[in-house]
Structure 1
Amino acid sequence: MYRFLLSRQWVITTVVALALVPVMIKLGFWQLHRHEQRVARNDQVARSLAADPVPVGELTAPGRAVPKKDVWRTVTAHGTYDRQGEVVVRMRTGNDGSQGYFVLTPLVQADGTAVLVNRGWVPAGGPQTTYPDVPPAPAGTVTVTGRLRADEQPGQGVKDTRGLPPRQVMLINSERQAAQLHRPVLGGYLELAEAPAGRQPQPVAAPDHSSIGPHMAYAVQWWLFSAFVPVGWIILVRRERRERAAAAAGETTAAAAAPAGA
């Protein structure tokens, strides 16, 4: 009755079905892990943003990478902006999605070390071969408050392009800027949460830590697909059996109705 399952077509169909089930289950768990990572990331960002501000020197130092647990922590820094060491970071978007630059200005502290401060976003407005119109950093000694960020590295969605115009970079990286500034620079950088009074770059919006994304829904979909495969295989087998049985019955009826000796 089910000997047709030994045919080449059905053997291939069965093997493919058996292979799809574990693959889909694995894809479901992959999406589940991405969901868990997103939730953990949201929790970490929320804790960091809610923590009391601390001096930036407590969480980082020259040549030291910012620990993942300290990223997004609110930090303070006290010093004088080095306007001559200021650069702009290309291909960055504003809060409305417009293309432009981040303004990266070193803040020199009393001990001579500097911390890179992302003062915010400015529109492109002109040829990318020229320095954009950037509001000057506040003069004199200032105290700034912002979010601590880790250094950007090539391969993180940002191209490290050589041969750029003067005072333009593609990455925010403390080690590279330290080589240009000829002074020690704290690892990572500070992202201003609020702009000072007057004409200043647009502050970067706080990170979204409320959305969990579609990963859990995708996980459930993959697991449902894995359940549908054997169900679909059984439906196809039963349909094939009915069709073969009907064909065999039709042949029997036709043979019985044929004239003797025909």
Structure 2
Amino acid sequence: MREWRFVLSKKWLGYLAVAVVFAVVCVFLSHWQWERRAENLALQDRLNANYNARPVAITSILPELDSYSAADEFKPVRVTGRYLVDKTFLARDRSYNGFPGFEVLVPLETTSGRVFVIDRGWVPTGNTHDAPDSIPAPPSGRVTVVARLSQSEADVPGRTDIPGTNELARIQPADIAKRLQLPTYTAAFGQLKSETPETATLPKLAQKPQIDWSLNLSYAIQWVMFAVAAFGFLIYVVRQEYDALNSDEEDQRWLEEERERKRLKRGPSDSDLEDHDLDEKGYESSLPGTRISR
């Protein structure tokens, strides 16, 4: 075992410490990815439950104009009123399956006098100008809308509304409320699910969000593999060092064994035979007064 004592040197103990620290960091990151996976699974479960829930009256979820809870995201609400078609807004720079376009936002004045902003869906950018070629009209008169709740969007640095137009940089019902000067739900808006009465054409309705938790699982496994690889690499370089330190001694031992093998294969030489005969005959003592016999 003395050949392996070099691993107890400060250099190799330092390498071991580096490998341990790296492995601890990898395990921490793996655990973090595993927790993210659990969070995304919970979000997926909540999304599925809310997305497929039965519609309820808007006042049961949004009792006040500024009410909103993230736990209610995508829950369908039922609203009755009339569209303020002349107050239609367009949220620009929106994509649908990779194509550029706009989200069509039409305020719905409810029977209670409150306004709830409805995102009726997506329309593509026009062929000859930076605006839709056409926008499907909503039903006129009294309409009952079922829409899924969505939170007011956050500001995006560098993106602002275009003054004097109906184009918006982000969907924020509070901004629309300032333009309407009407009591408006400001913390949330609705993504259209259905309308009664129906219209012949509709914009492209919002697609169901997809929450991918498989990547978190993959990353968690990869970080564990990195930790194992660190110790595997350390073992490899230790073995390389061992071979380098002991190669001369092993080579000398091999040469000696090879010489002995060849000697045995070749048989005894003449000198070996003579030495053997002398050993068998023996000698008398060479002390004074003695005579060597042959």
Q: Distance in 2 between matches of 1:231 and 1:68?
A: 46
Which residue number corresponds to residue 243 of structure 1?
Answer: 244
Which residue number corresponds to residue 109 of structure 1?
Answer: 110
The two structures, once aligned, show a CA RMSD in angstroms of: 2.5
8 Å contact from structure 2 (residues 83, 108) kept in 1: yes
Q: Distance in 1 between matches of 2:157 and 2:100?
A: 16
Q: Secondary structure at the match of 1:220?
A: helix
Q: Distance in 1 between matches of 2:83 and 2:106?
A: 7
Which residue number corresponds to residue 286 of structure 2?
Answer: none
- Residue 178 of structure 2 corresponds to residue 179 of structure 1: yes
8 Å contact from structure 1 (residues 65, 151) kept in 2: no
Superposed CA deviations along residues 64-123 of structure 1, whole A, max 9, x for unmatched, are: 2421111010111101101122101111112x3211000011000122110010000000
Cα distance change, pair 121–147 in 1 and its aligned pair in 2 (3 A): same
Give the TM-score normalised by the residue count of structure 2.
Answer: 0.76
Indicate the larger mover: 12-21 or 137-146: 12-21
Which residue number corresponds to residue 259 of structure 1?
Answer: none
8 Å contact from structure 1 (residues 175, 185) kept in 2: yes
Greater relative CO, 1 or 2 (CA 8 Å, sep 6+): 1
Q: Secondary structure at the match of 1:214?
A: helix
Q: Distance in 2 between matches of 1:226 and 1:97?
A: 39
Cα distance change, pair 251–167 in 1 and its aligned pair in 2 (3 A): farther
Cα offset, 1:200, TM superposition: 2.2
- Residue 153 of structure 2 corresponds to residue 161 of structure 1: no
Which residue number corresponds to residue 289 of structure 2?
Answer: none
Q: Distance in 2 between matches of 1:218 and 1:137?
A: 46
- Residue 124 of structure 2 corresponds to residue 123 of structure 1: yes
Identical residues among aligned pairs (%)? 24
Cα offset, 1:52, TM superposition: 1.5
Give the number of equivalent residue pairs.
247
Q: Secondary structure at the match of 2:214?
A: coil
Cα offset, 1:132, TM superposition: 5.2
Cα distance change, pair 3–233 in 1 and its aligned pair in 2 (3 A): same
Higher helix proportion (structure 1 or 2): 2
Which residue number corresponds to residue 35 of structure 1?
Answer: 37
Q: Which runs of 5+ in 1 are unaligned?
A: 255-262
Which residue number corresponds to residue 70 of structure 1?
Answer: 72
Cα distance change, pair 112–47 in 1 and its aligned pair in 2 (3 A): same
Cα distance change, pair 176–77 in 1 and its aligned pair in 2 (3 A): same
Letter in structure 1 aligned against 2:183: P
Give the TM-score normalised by the residue count of structure 1.
Answer: 0.84
Cα distance change, pair 83–91 in 1 and its aligned pair in 2 (3 A): same
Q: Which runs of 5+ in 2 are unaligned?
A: 256-294
Q: Secondary structure at the match of 1:135?
A: coil
8 Å contact from structure 2 (residues 138, 199) kept in 1: no
Q: Distance in 2 between matches of 1:44 and 1:178?
A: 30
Q: Distance in 2 between matches of 1:62 and 1:170?
A: 26
Which residue number corresponds to residue 14 of structure 1?
Answer: 16
Which residue number corresponds to residue 145 of structure 2?
Answer: 144
Q: Distance in 2 between matches of 1:65 and 1:20?
A: 47
Q: Distance in 2 between matches of 1:170 and 1:61?
A: 28
Q: Distance in 1 between matches of 2:217 and 2:248?
A: 46
8 Å contact from structure 2 (residues 102, 132) kept in 1: no
Which residue number corresponds to residue 203 of structure 2?
Answer: 201
Superposed CA deviations along residues 206-243 of structure 1, whole A, max 9, x for unmatched, are: 2336x533211210121122122123212321221122
Q: Distance in 2 between matches of 1:49 and 1:100?
A: 25
Bigger radius of gyration among the two: 2
